[in-house]
Amino acid sequence: MSEKVIADFVARFSLERFDSPEPVRGRIVLSPKRLVLATSESKETVPLSAIFDVNVGHVPGDLESFFQDTVTIAYGDGDARRSAVIEAGSEEVDRFKTVLFKAQLNGTKTRVKHPARVGGRVTDASFAPAKLKIEPGAVRFAGADPLTIDLANVTYFQKERRDIGPVVVVRHTAEGQSITSEFAVASERKLNLLGRYLRLEYTALAQEVEDVETSDAEMEALVAIYSGARSGDLAGTLGIDSSRVTMLLNDLHDKELVDEGANGLSLTAKGRLLVSDRIETVNT
């Protein structure tokens, strides 16, 4: 492969065209234009433009007994629809998934309506051109008025239809408000992939916080930090003494909801998602 290689690793995989569903070991090579799955005996080349879905963890029923951590890729082959299931370690699967979505979506021309709603109020914003970029834990739209959506702040997304055509509607929180943004992509294939990426990232984060329990005092502290309160402000904001604040922060840190970095106290992605859900509940 003469073009730039952006992923190259050895893994087990299975293709629909194989005589047996049992996976084989081979090399996975990804470039900006194609995905190659090769063994010592054969090679399958999939143009990225033919891929219409990417899923993590879902395996077709007849392959469930063979796989654990997987990426399933659905693609067109002439008039046929085919799939490839790739298995690797969980971290490698996650990295490959992100690189694959970046290769598919980065630089895609979009039209963005932001904000389409603030709370329940419909705005007079119109769709404006922008270019899409996938970033760790976020999607960015670069244009005259750049927009970055932190996926930890997303509370709802859905594919809907507007006069402009199909759009992805995303509700997220910003500065304590519920904001709705809408994105249109000329290619419905890429719009579907963007929707899939949002769903995978949101689901993974939601699963992490599903079992996290917080007391009322802990949630009040999280909301205060989200609103900009610093460590030294919390005692006065929450009406408690400093020793109690220290205990609260220690508990929140143990639950991986807050972090004390170079820029001071902040919420982790899990912490932001908890607060976003709380704000969404209050606003609805």
| Mean pLDDT calculated for residue range 71-82 | 93
pLDDT reading at 50 higher than 70: yes
- How far apart are the C-alpha atoms of 144 and 164, rounded to whole Å? 20
What pLDDT was estimated at residue 49?
96
Domains of the chain: residue spans and CATH: 7-103 (2.30.29.30), 109-209 (2.30.29.30), 216-283 (1.10.10.10)
What pLDDT was estimated at residue 185?
95
Give CA angle at 208 (202, 210), nearest 5°: 95
Burial (0-12, 13-18, 19+ Cβ within 10 Å), 284: exposed
**Residue 229: which H helix or E strand, with range?**
none
pLDDT bracket for residue 62 (50, 70, 90)? low
- How far apart are the C-alpha atoms of 154 and 73, rounded to whole Å? 25
pLDDT bracket for residue 64 (50, 70, 90)? very low
| pLDDT tens digits along 82-113 | 999 998 877 888 899 999 999 999 999 999 99
Q: Is the dihedral of CA 235, 210, 132, 174 positive or negative?
A: negative
| Mean pLDDT calculated for residue range 11-23 | 82
pLDDT reading at 71 higher than 60: yes
User: pTM of the predicted model, to two decimals?
Assistant: 0.78
Residue % of the chain over a pLDDT of 90: 51
In the numeric block, which tokens belong to residue 43? 């090679």
**One-letter amino acid of 39:** T
> 280, 174 in Cβ contact below 8 A?
no
pLDDT reading at 276 higher than 90: no
Angle between helices 269-283 and 216-226 (to 10 degrees): 100
Tokens 């994105």 locate to 183
| Mean pLDDT calculated for residue range 139-150 | 94
